[in-house]
Amino acid sequence: MAQSSPTPDSAADLLDQVLNPLLDDFQESFERGFTLLQTCPEAVLSAPLQADLRRRLEQASAELRSARALRQAAPIPVALDMKVIQPWHQLVLEVWALSAARRRAP
């Protein structure tokens, strides 16, 4: 039995089903990072490192908003390059590490 190729509509739906939750997860993680930084003691993360992380979270959040807007405005389904997503993933890992460090701190 031959497999049929996905139709453009089903490929677009699949892309949205995969990418939209991923983008939502990035947004949630970035927001969590901002929340953690609001009350982060310098014993856990120094002020210069907090400022650097905040700056990178702000940049990534702006990039994420732009990516969502471009995807919505595009007349065809648009994916995101891994070169865009990889730094966001790294930030998520940093937010997780900060959260763990905050839990371990006295």
Residue with tokens 């940049």: 59
**Residue-range domain boundaries for the chain:** 46-106
Looking at residue 16, what is its pLDDT?
A: 85
Looking at residue 9, what is its pLDDT?
A: 66
- What pTM value is reported for the model? 0.86
Over the chain (106 residues), the average pLDDT of each successive run of 10 is: 58 85 97 97 97 98 96 89 96 98 90
Instruction: Give me 63's structure tokens.
Output: 């990039």
- Which candidate, 64, 67, 89, places its Cα nearest to that of 78? 67
79 CA to centre of own chain: 14
